[in-house]
Structure 1
Amino acid sequence: MANENYISMSIGSNIERVPKNIVFCSMIGGRSHVKPVLEIGRLLMKRSHNFTIVAPNARKTVKNEYPQISLYDLDPVMKEHSSESRKLYQEEFNINHLQILARQLEAHYSHVFNNLKRVALEKKADLLICDVVAQPCVDVAWTLKIPVVIFGGALGLASYKSDPMFGCHVTLEGKSFFERFRCVIIQHSQTAFYWYKSSVKYFNQERISVGIEPVSYPTERTRNSLFLANTFFGFEIAETLPPLYQEIGPIMYDSYPPLTTSLESFINSHERIIYIAFGDRFYTTPENNGKILKSVLELLTTKNLDGAIWALTQTPMTDFPSTINLQSGISINTTTILTNSNPHIKILDWAPQFAVLNHTNVKIFLTHGGIESIFEALYTATPMLIMPLYVDQYGNAEKLTMQGCALTVSKLALDEKDLFENITRLLTDHSIAQNLKRMQIFARINRLRKYRAADLIELVMYTAKHVEGAGNIPIVSEWQTADARIGVWRAENWDVWVFASISCLLLVVTAGLIGIKILKFANRWIIIRWFSRTTNRNTKEKSQ
């Protein structure tokens, strides 16, 4: 018999929401850093909260996609075609390039801090969402004593994780002892020491210049804050995560710009298209552009492909050779291609990427491996040829290659033959297609976790409080693990294990010493007994 006392509830409407003011700050800018948080902001605004973004070129990046969100522009930290950016994008990434990036961030500290603080006070901010590298944002939250949420990609907390941009691998599982020693002891220590020294020393100088207390280590003010990672297991290497670290990716959008009439007509008239794009800020060398274009033309000649779309968002048309010489001996003037006079190649300043990838006639995606591009390719199950250009893209490429969803080429040793062979393999390898179908399920199911991200931000706003010993930023103490309060030494019971180990060692040593004494005593007793019996026997023999 049914229980007539059951209570009916409407999911999601069973808490009383008090409107809050939320400000998001990105120091780097760009769509992959900004738009995912704006998508969460859109959900929060539906829940009656106010949302503001402070970022470099915010209006240019967002355009008219989120008209209800207040936008404040910052000066760009990285100018796309400066000599420093060309070094970062076109050369091998190393510790010196990390220094370039750090100096760029440090140089903009006071500009970001002062503008963000002004906006936060003007908007009466109740919570700040800070991009993972936005140190000034965290310091503003610390100054105003309001909660902060950190947003970024995967951190790689497990000891068996590493980073390919410094010559290691995304996982050290199955690697030799010497490779693990090099990555864990030498490479990690060098990178950690440099970043620790750089971020503490130089950022502290900037903090003092704006009247903020310095820190002792980089994460001092965020160690108790919620971190939202725009990623998901399946794409990421699995690991055990603490409560304050939450995966909420892949953040996808409810609607995307459609194909233009001319672009739709081009795609519909070709059945095997390669789409080439390096995001909204990256580009490669003129030499690589020539090699890519030549490979595309060779593939069109052999009928492996019958169309190509290239979005030259940050690539100047002057970064192409004047002519392309094919193996057949034919010489092609690139001007005819770049001006869209070739009926099989479409050159664009910008492309509605998701709509392009979602079309069944687009078979290959040549990408730099940016996180937003990867998520869109996984969602549409589009095979990828990845040419990493910068920082996290190296790790993204290796993870997808390990999953059998992509192939990788090097920007430093790009070879036309390799391009031709890899693209041909992506067109014909059924195992890659199957692996992408499996990853597509991960991407499509996990995309709804942006609602979870909005829930978590609300939870922080409504429940965060000042906790003694946690610092100046209010936190959700229920998420704070024991090591944050009592230290890792006691939380991991290392003191108990050390005491037990020492006790066992002392017990073994004591037992050993006692055993030696017993053996010595027994040995003396045996010798004395033997000597006594021998003496008595000799005495008896003489008396007889």
Structure 2
Amino acid sequence: MADQRGDDDLTQSTDSSRRILAVVTTGGFTHAGEYCAAVLAERGHVVEFATNAGQEDWAKYCPTIQTVHSFGSGPSDEEMEAHYRRMILWNPASGLSAIMESKYLFDSYWTDTYLHLKDIVSDTNTRPDFIIADFFADAAVKDMMVEFGVPIAIMYPQMPSLMAPVSYVPGQPGFQIDSNLTSEHASILSRIKNEMVVFWALPSILKWLQWTKAMRMKVDVMHKSPSDPKPDYLVLVNSFFGLEVPKDLPPSIVPCGPILADSYMELDEKHAEFLSRHKRVLYVALGTHIILQGTDVTKILDGLIRALDEQHIDGVIWAVGSSPRKDFPHAQSFTRAGQCPRTLGGMLDQADPDFMFPLFAPQRAILEHKSTVLFLTHGGGSSANEALYHGVPVLTLGFFFDQLSNSARLRNAGVGLSLDKLNYTSSEICVSIAIIVGDLDSRFAQDVKRMKGIARIASKRKYLAADMIEQSVIDEEYRVLNNKEMHPRYLQTADMRMSTWRARNWDLWLLTFGTGLVVAASTSYIGRMIYATLRARIALFKH
């Protein structure tokens, strides 16, 4: 048997004790930090965390993080509240121009992120061997790759826009204006509308590009940020095919979700007691930052009360934080069948034994409980993954970006129904609950089991993502010799280094077409010559 000790030594010498920097900035806490801590730290890597000032406590979710780097402050509470209110009211059919204010808000923090990362990377005592970042920090992290050669991975909650485009997916993920995720059953009008979303936004996009260029020039960054449709860096997608639309991907884009912790918070006494008393519980969680208008709260509660009165469900747990509940119409009165009216304020204080309004809920434990029969969710990436993993049907009320996409994906996967945030009614909520929970033909139960099985197997791909990160570290270390690149990055496809003519074989097609023309012309010429000669001989013979 061949001696394999050399290969083992290489693996040990290149994979152990790497410094991995997880960067999460203005976008909010994602699974990137938890993922790095749980998987990469187990393999002997030193995981560090970088984030905006005031967000350092996010590291507490990742006990294996050893160092926390603080950047400048991120958006203020007022700016974030204005952003979420703007996004809740956004109609995708109106295009992107209406939400560019939020784009400018988040991108304005590039300078601070870039300068802090540059300080970390340029110092040999703190320079990481690899950087994994939330997609909100992608521009600054890609600059570190270009300027310092640090291998990187960007974590996305869904398939990123403008990457790996395919002709049979109209529009861009997160910006599709209807539920047609592919062209398979979409009308021509629907396909045109989806494709035109970005086109109509070109004036706003061009203005933003000029603004971005000026911002980068102020700190002497002259190179362009890499934006190839097939990147040469890792793109880790915290989702999976089954939820995502299957499509052809380059080797650098890796669906590695659902990334979930191996353990989760157990039920506390209050939630356990409520779930033990009720056997058909609807769990509601519409996101930490979703600030519902009073009319929306009223419509949702009316729909839930109708569903309770008609006995489609027998209990509701609605997790809503202190900030969103400020806009709840506390004085609004609601009446259950055969009961006295109660104000929403009283219901929030647990006046109704069939309603529970916790500030925080152990979501995964609730979804895992046998009494939970339906999840009313905004369709955010984590909630979608957890619903599928724990096998709970959903009724989605998405508000923007991946929430809208996930709403359509979950419905297309057969695990629930969705509501249009601009047009839903109380009656529609009640009817949707009745259809899903009643499940007369068992189609929801069947698809929930199907997707649960796929999600649980797919969740193991977080280890593949860790393998890809370690491979990228090795590749970056050994593809350069004496400061000279000996090989391109191993995940980059060759067409990204070629001209379009060569990559798409246009030169061969032109050569083939040209050769065909020459052959056709030559054949025609020879044919005419032969014909003329034969005619001349026939004429001579007649004379």
Asked if Structure 1 and Structure 2 have the same fold, meaning a TM-score greater than 0.5 normalized by the shorter chain, the answer is yes
List aligned pairs for 1:57-456, cutoff 5 A. Answer: 57-66=54-63, 68-74=65-71, 75-77=73-75, 79=77, 82-93=81-92, 94-120=95-121, 121=123, 123-134=126-137, 135-152=139-156, 153-155=158-160, 157-161=165-169, 162=171, 163=173, 165-168=175-178, 169-184=180-195, 186-191=196-201, 193=202, 197=206, 200-215=209-224, 219=227, 223-313=231-321, 314-320=323-329, 322-326=331-335, 331-429=341-439, 430-456=442-468
Per-residue CA distance 1:341-364 (angstroms, 9 max, x = gap):
211111111111111111110111
| TM-score of the pair, normalised by structure 1 | 0.85
Asked if the contact 1:286/1:321 (under 8 Å) is kept, the reply is no
Task: Write the distance in 2 (CA, Å) between the matches of 1:66 and 1:302.
Answer: 47
Moved more, 120-129 or 432-441: 120-129
| TM-score of the pair, normalised by structure 2 | 0.85
* CA deviation after TM superposition for structure 1 residue 475, in Å: 8.3
After superposition, the CA RMSD in angstroms is 3.5
Partner SS state of residue 341, structure 1: coil
1:540 equivalent in structure 2: none
Q: Which runs of 5+ in 1 are unaligned?
A: 537-544
Per-residue CA distance 1:296-324 (angstroms, 9 max, x = gap):
11222222211101111351243235224
Moved more, 387-396 or 84-93: 84-93
* 1:475–1:259 Cα change, 3 Å: farther
Task: Write the distance in 2 (CA, Å) between the matches of 1:81 and 1:124.
Answer: 32
Asked if the contact 1:368/1:389 (under 8 Å) is kept, the reply is yes
Q: Which runs of 5+ in 2 are unaligned?
A: none
Task: Write the distance in 2 (CA, Å) between the matches of 1:393 and 1:507.
Answer: 57
- Aligned AA (1:126): D
Task: Write the distance in 1 (CA, Å) between the matches of 2:450 and 2:228.
Answer: 40
* CA deviation after TM superposition for structure 1 residue 431, in Å: 0.3
Question: Is 1:487 the counterpart of 2:496 in the alignment?
Answer: no
* CA deviation after TM superposition for structure 1 residue 194, in Å: 5.6
* 1:322–1:41 Cα change, 3 Å: same
Task: Write the distance in 2 (CA, Å) between the matches of 1:398 and 1:356.
Answer: 24
Partner SS state of residue 128, structure 1: strand
Task: Write the distance in 2 (CA, Å) between the matches of 1:21 and 1:298.
Answer: 55
1:47 to 43, 49, 53: 43
* 1:132–1:440 Cα change, 3 Å: same
Per-residue CA distance 1:412-442 (angstroms, 9 max, x = gap):
1120111010011110112011101001111
Moved more, 360-369 or 83-92: 83-92
Partner SS state of residue 227, structure 1: strand
Task: Write the distance in 2 (CA, Å) between the matches of 1:335 and 1:520.
Answer: 102
2:19 equivalent in structure 1: 21
- Aligned AA (1:89): I
Instruction: Give the paired residue count.
Output: 519
* CA deviation after TM superposition for structure 1 residue 143, in Å: 2.9
Q: Percent identity among equivalent residues?
A: 24
* 1:296–1:21 Cα change, 3 Å: same
* 1:104–1:202 Cα change, 3 Å: same
* CA deviation after TM superposition for structure 1 residue 151, in Å: 1.8
* 1:511–1:338 Cα change, 3 Å: farther
* 1:374–1:210 Cα change, 3 Å: same
Moved more, 498-507 or 271-280: 498-507
**Larger-gyration structure (1/2):** 1
Asked if the contact 2:377/2:396 (under 8 Å) is kept, the reply is yes
Task: Write the distance in 2 (CA, Å) between the matches of 1:189 and 1:325.
Answer: 46
Per-residue CA distance 1:472-498 (angstroms, 9 max, x = gap):
999863322111222343123221123
Partner SS state of residue 158, structure 1: coil
Task: Write the distance in 2 (CA, Å) between the matches of 1:484 and 1:58.
Answer: 38
